[in-house]
Structure 1
Amino acid sequence: MGGGIAQSLADAGIRVTLVDVSHEATIASHARLLREAAAFEKQGLFRPGAADRIEAHLVIGETIEEAVRDVDFIEEAVPEIPDLKRELLTRISRVARADAIIGTNTSTLPVHTLAPAVSGPERFLTVHFSNPAPFVPGVELVCGEKTDPAILPVVKDMIRRAGHQSAEVADTPGFVLNRLQYVLFKEACAIVEEGIATTEGVDTIVRSTFGFRLPFFGPFAIADMAGLDVYQNCFKTFEQAFGERLAAPKILKDLVAAGKLGTKSGEGFVGQLTPEQAQALVAYRNNAYGHMARLLSDLGPAPLPGASTQKD
């Protein structure tokens, strides 16, 4: 994760000092990142000149203390072990400039569980990239109770310069990304355990149906286009089968009761649409899905065990 974040920022022209668990590991990581950058550019995955930009802006630090002593922003990306993160954050904040922003790339740990390890917690927040960082654009930003809101525009601008998108979310375990991802995984496991489908079957359904839509639209936009009244009726079936945990959410029922049924009524979760805007949205959706289908056909199946490597 740390290496991918470093590549993204260095490719944006930001000077990045890389430091790993030891100097030998740092040297090895630096060499690997440069090799990867050259390979990614050759494959067309990085924009032209990326390898040279990354090499020019990614340097090696001797120690953590040296690397963080006089920089504007520090991002730690050690494993998801609370004590390890606290130890490192304490070490960083002891020597970093008082105005240096300190970010953690934690996937699930709330800011308030790590902030006590940081001297000057007003400059501390979660800046959660996803793996592989150079290719997955979304970044979660999570502030703690003591985080100074003034640092957010600075971090957002850095993320934007690196070609990423960010969203602020509340300080709760798992944030948004992994709360949703792990709930999906848990339900997928239950489906397999109940004998409803195999693991391969679940993966096929997820990636080729609702997962197919997700690069373009989130769950609220998808629900709006399907019709919120349709969703509410489907929830009745789920509630009868699975009980309260899959009953229709209150925010959904409130919208339907108000006649806000999504795209077809001109208003739903994502706001109001004129008939012309609704028509443009549907046209974009159809175009996007068509392009996605062609892209997947061109790429062929993923090289997973048992998958065909032949294109149709």
Structure 2
Amino acid sequence: MTTRAKIACLGAGRMGRGIAVAFAYAGHTVKMIDIKARSGEDFAKLEADALDEVRKTFVGLASLGLLTEVDVGPLIARVSVVPANQSNAALSDAGMVFEGVPEVVELKREVLALASRQVGPETIIASTTSTILVDDLSGAIVDPRRFLNVHWLNPAYLIPLVEVSPGAATDPAIVDAVKRLLEGIGKVPVVCAATPGFIVPRIQALAMNEAARMVEEGVASAEDIDKAIRYGFGFRYAVLGLLEFIDWGGGDILYYASRYLEGALRSDRYRAPDVISRNMREGRIGLRTGAGFLDYSGLDVDAYRVERLKAMVDLLRHFGLARPPVLDRS
């Protein structure tokens, strides 16, 4: 697959439009393919709606300083919408195809099966499903070696992270090629097993439900809970990953805190997984023992701490919360 591969999106809805913006911004041509047979009038309306949203997105990005208004026209020109009866021609020279139709297994299988017969033999095909396991779809694909799931987080054109989930038959070389393609447009791909919820949705579902539960229990107002997330939870995890943070403070702290919360709140949802206890038994506490979930052997720990703290100071400045010291100069 070339660095400027032609991109095709099966479906011209929200996901297809977001992916189109991301790739067009990075220099690729993108064809959004309508999956429904429509009258000429109905297709013209879909085409106008899709391209108008793409245009508005680019105009919005220009207002945020990511491009100039002069750039908008050339970027939009890289995106087109293709009617269903012209899908064969649109797919025949695509380097990569992203399926973005509604979360219905049989619909996805039908659309993917047809597309996999129309593309070239080297074309990579990806679903963007957020809920369906890749191997529930791969059986519909002609040559499932080149099929995997690529889960974008909305808005797809802004959020850097993309979760790449191969199936049982996916060729590892295809995974590497997709990672390179995504990195080439400024994304940060991570690879995860084919499991419900992938990485981010699985973690955020727990966090969102717990935040809602605290409102329900009267722990704090919605406003204060969100303030706590922005300036505490999110602030730290913008710099330190969750597992890195466990190592930063020490896995033993999480172990004892989890035991207390499980008892005090009478809920096993706070129970620490076995890996926390196992790490403690093996002396993998975190930074202070040289290993935890991550390996810190050979690391200049003092320099590492300074680098992470500097990133937090930069965030303080971003939020307008960095203040000079109060000194008594009398």
Query: TM-score w.r.t. structure 1 length?
Result: 0.86
Residue 265 of structure 1 aligns with an amino acid whose one-letter code is T
Asked if 1:13 is matched to 2:27, the reply is yes
Higher Rg of the two aligned structures:
2
- Aligned 8 A contact 1:104 1:125 in 2: yes
TM-score by length of 2: 0.81
Offset at 1:116?
2.4
Match of 1:238 in 2: 261
Aligned to 1:265: 289
Please report how far the alpha carbon of residue 45 of structure 1 lies from its aligned counterpart in structure 2 after TM superposition. 3.0
Map 1:120-139 onto structure 2 (within 5 A): 120-139=143-162
Q: C-alpha distance in 1, partners of 2:70/2:292?
A: 44
Alpha-carbon shift at residue 222 of structure 1 (Å): 0.9
Distance 1:26-1:53 versus aligned 2 partners, 3 A rule: same
| Post-superposition offset of 1:4 | 1.6
CA distance in 1 between counterparts of 2:210 and 2:188 reads 28
Residue 250 of structure 1 deviates from its aligned partner by 1.8
How far apart, in 2, do the equivalents of 1:207 and 1:2 lie? 30
The 1:279/1:146 distance shift into structure 2, 3 A limit, reads same
Q: Displacement of 1:277 after TM fit?
A: 2.2
Distance 1:140 1:50 in 2: 29
Q: Is 2:34–2:81's contact at 8 Å kept on the other side of the alignment?
A: no
Report Cα offsets for 1:225-255 as digits up to 9, x if no partner: 1122222221220232335442232222222
Indicate the percent of aligned positions where both proteins have the same amino acid. Answer: 32
Determine if contact 2:96/2:123 at 8 Å carries over to the other structure.
yes
Distance 1:161 1:47 in 2: 21
TM-superposed deviation, 1:53:
5.4
Match 2:311 to one of 271, 288, 292: 288
Deviation, 1:168, is: 0.9
Match of 2:52 among 31, 42, 46: 31
Partner of 1:110: 133
1:218 deviation in Å? 1.5
What is aligned with 1:187? 210
Counterpart in the other structure of 2:220: 197
Cα distance, 1:23–1:280 mapped onto 2, change above 3 Å: farther
How is 1:39-54 mapped onto 2 (pairs within 5 angstroms)? 39-46=60-67, 51=72, 54=75
Describe the SS at the equivalent of 2:260: helix
1:57 aligns with 2:81: no
Tell me the residue number matched to 2:271: 247
What pairs up with 1:191-230 in 2 under 5 angstroms? 191-230=214-253
Q: Give the aligned partner of residue 324 of structure 2.
A: none
CA contact (8 A) 1:11 1:53 kept: no
Change in CA separation of 1:250 and 1:113 when aligned onto 2, cut-off 3 Å: same
Cα displacement (A) at 1:167: 1.0
Corresponding residue for 2:9?
none
The Cα shift of 1:163 comes to 0.2
One-letter identity of the residue aligned with 1:2: G
CA–CA distance in structure 1, aligned partners of residues 150 and 275 of structure 2:
29
- What CA distance in whole angstroms lies between the structure 2 residues aligned with 1:156 and 1:52? 29
**Counterpart of 2:4?**
none
Q: CA RMSD in A?
A: 2.4
Q: Equivalent residue for 1:4?
A: 18
CA distance in structure 2 between the partners assigned to 1:46 and 1:266 by the alignment: 44
Q: Secondary structure at the match of 1:264?
A: helix
SS at match of 1:255: helix
**What residue is the counterpart of 1:170 in the other structure?**
193
**Matched length:** 297
Aligned counterparts, 1:75-86, within 5 A:
75-86=98-109
Q: Secondary structure at the match of 1:196?
A: coil
Would the aligned equivalents of 1:18 and 1:30 in 2 still touch at CA under 8 Å? Answer: no
Distance in 2 between the 1:155 and 1:285 partners? 30
